[in-house]
Structure 1
């Protein structure tokens, strides 16, 4: 299990963040901040609030159109670049223009390197995924990104990349929540050494479900905080998103409690 932090606190230093190891001696915070639909001044303020609340992992994408807003917030947060884990993603329509895309992202984010670069969706054209993956590996080898992975890939699509290149994606970012929990999918990622990262943790969760409400009451937290803690205790990276400062802080305040084995089983069962 991830290292547990005692004592409720919304603001944590990067050293206190529970992390998961990735290839290349990289450590990824298990709690991240998602920025989909957070653009312009609202996006900038949301990322600034997240960093102030203790998040040390920011997730964006070329497709989101907010890399400049994210980069400005990181620059103005007062944090050292090495203390923020930064992810962006290659859109499938940029296959064949990978180098141009990452250079554009680096300029927009005002950084010399990414911590993680993902293929956002599998390319629609058959056979395009492997050349795109090779380009991500080349960017990693050149130091433009510390590590690379994929998003919205099936296990069979991941296996195709591994078999073709003998290089395993560090991460697969997919939609995930208690109601979507699938033990076989979780185990398949773990068996391949691919870190599972979940997005939209609340969109497919019924936060009024009696199981989540009961467990939340037992720990004096909200059902949303239980959902996030469930990810952390499974060592699944989770990236909640919000542009509301109070909710941003609440979503970060999940390290003062942990779930029992029985509670984890009860939440897992929501996916069946």
Structure 2
């Protein structure tokens, strides 16, 4: 099906182009560099970044904040009301492990809130698109179908998204507060948020470090699918009055702990 917004179609096309750049490197030996925070940076990150920036500049004059060009002064960033938030390759560790669970992420942020998001998993050829207020879609190849978050029903097993690369003992505190059986659904990269958006999981608690570009696109998908993405207090993880996760509201690009819930 066609998306109800030409801009979303263009962003999806750009994400797939970046995915092609990544896959050209994925099936061969690739160089691994070290970033300042010691996380691996591959040729694929840089190739996808250059592709996305060049293509976004062709369709928009909005500023771009990408993981691979993040050294933009806060004095400049704080003046941005609308901008593109990009993670050209989320799940670099998944990429290096060659398990396919890595993604291209492009989000449009408007006054601190993600309003459009595209997540593309090039090894799986799966796309996720969210247009807040209009809907969310997912599919393989060119076929997209509507998706929606599915609240937990009494008697059902709670499906909780976990991480292959990170795990936090505080999650046990959250699990202990849920009534009924729980099942951990393991997944890498921003696909974790997408599992809640598609109804394959009920909750994704994140009690570990992430940056804004790690979550922006999938946050838009989750919100558009009817889920919530809220700040998580480890002492009160299921607080129904928790604030929404926001973007570009402070100098640091690190996210607080958060919870994605249906």
Measured against the shorter chain, the TM-score band is under 0.3
Relative to total residues, which structure has the larger helix share, 1 or 2?
A: 1
Normalising by structure 1, report the TM-score.
Answer: 0.26
TM (norm. structure 2) is 0.26
